[in-house]
Chain A
Amino acid sequence: ILNVEQSPQSLHVQEGDSTNFTCSFPSSNFYALHWYRWETAKSPEALFVMTLNGDEKKKGRISATLNTKEGYSYLYIKGSQPEDSATYLCALLSNTGNQFYFGTGTSLTVIP
């Protein structure tokens, strides 16, 4: 079992602010790290799939980094917008590919 922790649990920011949150894990023994965005009443949507130490991915105003040696991944949102309000989930895919281990998520609210 891979214990995935996310912090903070929830976050309120003003529109236009940049923000970041953390996914931490005790071991680098996994196949890939995935970030998902989950808006209320919708399906979780994949943001990034990261596999290599030092990976950096970017999609618009959102970017993510992965440091497997120190056991964390950061998700950054630049210039937050109200539509960014969602729960952001981090998940590790096991080496077997059979299981994702999810964190409890960071709930982001962007205040207009």
Chain B
Amino acid sequence: GAGVSQSPRYKVAKRGQDVALRCDPISGHVSLFWYQQALGQGPEFLTYFQNEAQLDKSGLPSDRFFAERPEGSVSTLKIQRTQQEDSAVYLCASSLTRGREAFFGQGTRLTVV
């Protein structure tokens, strides 16, 4: 596709439910980032992939959060046993190489009830 695609756009989860958020980056983009944006805040870094390698996962808030990019293209962010504080917009971005402009998806708005 022409841009970064994220699905679903909206997700309502019951507390304790597991969720999986998908990111389709621009084809050929090496770098892929996941961000979490809580209401009224700027995006907060979660994790970074270079191709299939997860080079930085220092932003993942707990061991309930897990991300993968097994073939160096599509990435999935999984949240286990969701909590209310996980409610946020989850943004995915990709860039051709390090330092180049990042292209963002529209985000997935997760609401945990």
Contact = CB atoms under 8 A, between A and B. Distances in A.
Interface of A: 4, 6, 31-32, 34, 36, 41-46, 49, 51, 89, 91, 93, 96-105
Nearest to A96: B56
Interface residues of B, number: 28
B101 A44 contact: no
B42 interface: yes
B14 to A, nearest CB: 26
Contacts of B59: 99
Given A103-B42, A104-B41, 11 more contacts: A31-B98, A31-B99, A43-B3, A43-B103, A44-B93, A46-B101, A46-B103, A91-B43, A99-B59, A100-B102, A102-B44
Nearest to A99: B45
Interface of B: 3-4, 31, 33, 35, 40-45, 48, 55-56, 58-59, 91, 93, 98-107
A32 B99 CA distance: 7
Contacts of B100: 49
A28 B102 CA distance: 20
Greatest chain A CB density within 10 A among B33, B41, B99 is at B99
Nearest to B57: A98
Contact of A97 (B4, B98, B104, B105): B98
